[in-house]
Amino acid sequence: MRKTVALLFLAVLIIGCGPKMANQETLDALGEAQAALEAAQTRLADLQAEKDALEAQRAEFEMMVKELQDEVDMLQAKIDTRCMK
């Protein structure tokens, strides 16, 4: 008798704690969240590509500035040597 009651109690416990089906509202919210996640990941990839392009452009500009500064220094040296006479 005790075994039967224990078995019955265990069966009720397992059935009562079993998986429940999600309602349509929860499924819709999950779908919206997944769509938002995918959109955010796409936006992140786009922004990362834009950042990489801007960093490459910045490096190019820094190189141009260095070349121009070297040219200015060279011209200044020429001016200094020719005007000292």
pLDDT tens for 58-68 read 999 999 999 99
Of residues 13 and 30, more confidence is placed in 30
Q: Which tokens hold the place of 78?
A: 């020429």
| Domain contains 15 | no
Tracing tokens 């020719």 back to the chain, one arrives at 82
Alpha carbon distance 31, 44 (integer Å)? 20
- Measured CA angle at 26 (ends 25, 28), to 5 deg: 65
| Domain contains 17 | no
Average pLDDT over residues 21-32: 85
Confidence class for position 85, pLDDT limits 50, 70, 90: low
Q: Which of 66, 47, 43 is nearest to 58 (CA)?
A: 66
Domain containing 48 equals 23-83
Predicted confidence (pLDDT) per residue in 39-79, tens digit: 999 999 999 999 999 999 999 999 999 999 999 999 999 99
| Domain contains 68 | yes
| Domain contains 31 | yes
**Does the reported pTM lie above 0.85?**
no
